[in-house]
Structure 1
Amino acid sequence: MAELDPDTLMGPLWTLLAFVGLGWLAARRLAIDPRPIATLLIYLIAPLTFFRGLVLGGPTPGYLLITLALFVTACLIALVISIVARRALPAEESAVLAFSAGTGNTGYFGLPVALVLLPPSGVTLYLFGVLGVTLYEFTLGFYLSARGRFSVRESLVKILRLPLIYAFLAALLVEALSTDVPDAVMEGLEVFPPTYTLLGMMIIGMTLGRISLRQFDWRFIGACVAIRYLLWPLLALGVVLGLQATLGISADLAMALLLIGVVPMAANVVVVAMELGIAPQKGALAVLITTLAAPLLIPLYLGWMLPLVSG
């Protein structure tokens, strides 16, 4: 496996923080409302980004098995945290915590690192793992978030209105029918992934621009950090060691799974909370803190894990 140079993380980190800073300036100086941007991300930009990634990846049964495994894992973690959080936190905070528990910044932050550490075949494995996490975000994750404010029926209706689910099915249909998407269409879709990254991180800054010190909830933020930087890394390491002992997985897949386990909190925590109107300010603070900690913690974790899985 490749060694991780801490400098590898600095480029992605400063780029993401610059986007957050732009969002903060937009909220403070231009009084831009981030809610329409969150709606645009969820209902237009995310589905098209997701569709393009699936079509380019060429989903195979093996790749889709990785997607399914990460989807099930994310769902199980979120459900367990949801049950626990409802006993300790108000409804809206527990909903945001449950949503964030099943996901991480696997795309905006993790992908640039994966591109450095993994060969093209390993990056493909990583992307299909990311797709499983993303699918969780816009199905069960969205439902758990919505339940912080809406009834079961209203929450299910909101999920059925999410176009990302249909984008996933459309990509699978394209692959099943061996249909080629026209080059002009694929070229047009190239603008959506960077747009998704830019707007997703700017929303964090826009939300932070409206925060007061009274909204700094250390109990909530501490729970988010513990789940993201204690539960997930240990789970990823355990899964990799277990798979190596039983199935003998490749080094690239092991690295991909470890990366998914050590990335910071997902920016989509803020996007979904903004769309549903459930504690987006607290979610934005937690996302920012875990992102700032990433350059220190990710090399530390991987430096500890890689010898264990390479032995």
Structure 2
Amino acid sequence: MNFILIVLPVFIILAVGFIGQRVLDLDIKSISTAALYLMLPFLAFQTFYENELNMNYLYIVLFCILLLFALIMVSFLAGKMTSQQQSKTSAFVLAGAFMNSGNYGVPVILFAFGETGFQYAVIMMVIQSLLMNTVGLYFAAKGSKSGGTLKDSVVKILKMPVVYGSIAGLSLQIASVPVPTFIYNAIDLIGSATIPTIMLVLGMQLANISKKNVEMKELSAVLVIRLVLSPVIAYAITALLSLDSLLSSVLIVLAAMPTAANTTMFAVQFDTEPDLVSFSTLVTTSISIITVPLMIMFFS
């Protein structure tokens, strides 16, 4: 019951966005742009500024990089097997390689593993945020239907303010530079509104999905990558790194989380198969109500 109460708010926000879009027919691109350019940089700054660096970062950084590399390889293979389009392959990477370790994963870990597990989850959230806002943005830009070279993709990333928000937060945290209270209060307000806005965008995008644009073989491939292969690969990596049991359990459960909501925003912004990415987020989140408790039961 407690787990359902943790997940239920996510679905309520999705429902608000879904119903709002059906009734009001809003401009999703404008709202997505506002969240990506005006709000997400403040959340990134806050995340990196508040979480102090320690030795656990090293192990979790290695874990995240190895997991991401493996999932990108699997996603590329799945993309080539189901479609020859670059946009579809990039969509597989967005939906398959990036998990919702933040607004979904962190509270679940707190409930399942307590305060120590929660601290591990926060560290992974920070690292995943950095990877998603660099590597994830690269694949979103690369898969844009407007096309573009490697240079074009890199230029698009460098234009994203979220990258500089992350760098600024990490730099000030390392340098122990205090942020004035009146400024930080504003940052906190904007940052706190970012995740709900992203979830609203996801709900709105789901209201516009056309079933003909989402093939079952593609959706099935994403489901297998995100909910099956990801935790299996995570288990192998934790064994390879010889991590302690609690840290291993936390990382494996987080690896089994559904597709990150931010990937929908990236897909909408760059027109990288937004229907496939959005629907993958919805379906993996729905199924995770069953799969995540099973993972917790097995590893706790």
Superposition TM-score, scaled by structure 1 size:
0.87
Spell out the pairing of 1:228-307 with structure 2 (5 A cutoff): 228-243=226-241, 246=242, 248-249=243-244, 251=246, 253-306=247-300
**For the residues of structure 1 that align with 2:253 and 2:182, how far apart are their CA atoms?**
33
What is the DSSP-based 3-state SS (H/G/I as helix, E as strand, rest coil) of the residue aligned with 2:9?
helix
**For the residues of structure 1 that align with 2:171 and 2:226, how far apart are their CA atoms?**
34
The count of residues paired between Structure 1 and Structure 2 equals 296
Report sequence identity in percent. Answer: 23
What is the DSSP-based 3-state SS (H/G/I as helix, E as strand, rest coil) of the residue aligned with 2:121?
helix
Cα displacement string for residues 7-44 of structure 1 (whole angstroms, at most 9, x for unaligned residues): 23212322111111111112111111111222122222
**For the residues of structure 2 that align with 1:118 and 1:167, how far apart are their CA atoms?**
30
Match of 2:136 among 130, 141, 155: 141
What is the DSSP-based 3-state SS (H/G/I as helix, E as strand, rest coil) of the residue aligned with 2:179?
coil
Distance 1:100 1:212, change over 3 A: closer
Specify every segment of 5 or more residues in structure 1 that has no aligned partner in the other structure, as ranges. 1-6, 307-311
Report the residue type matching 1:258 in the other structure.
I
Cα RMSD, aligned residues only: 2.1
**For the residues of structure 2 that align with 1:215 and 1:255, how far apart are their CA atoms?**
37
Match of 1:205 among 196, 203, 206: 203
Distance 1:238 1:302, change over 3 A: farther
Alpha-carbon shift at residue 220 of structure 1 (Å):
1.2
Match of 1:92 among 87, 95, 108: 87
Alpha-carbon shift at residue 68 of structure 1 (Å):
5.3
Match of 2:114 among 119, 122, 128: 119
More divergent stretch after superposition (222-231 vs 191-200): 191-200
Alpha-carbon shift at residue 75 of structure 1 (Å):
3.9
Report the residue type matching 1:117 in the other structure.
A
The answer (yes or no) to whether the contact 1:59–1:172 under 8 Å persists in 2 is no
Aligned: 1:168 with 2:166: yes
Report the residue type matching 2:215 in the other structure.
D
More divergent stretch after superposition (254-263 vs 67-76): 67-76
Alpha-carbon shift at residue 258 of structure 1 (Å):
2.0
Specify every segment of 5 or more residues in structure 2 that has no aligned partner in the other structure, as ranges. none
**For the residues of structure 1 that align with 2:7 and 2:131, how far apart are their CA atoms?**
25
The answer (yes or no) to whether the contact 2:263–2:277 under 8 Å persists in 1 is yes
Alpha-carbon shift at residue 88 of structure 1 (Å):
2.9
Alpha-carbon shift at residue 61 of structure 1 (Å):
4.9
Alpha-carbon shift at residue 125 of structure 1 (Å):
1.8
Alpha-carbon shift at residue 100 of structure 1 (Å):
2.1
Distance 1:28 1:182, change over 3 A: same
Alignment correspondent of 2:214: 216
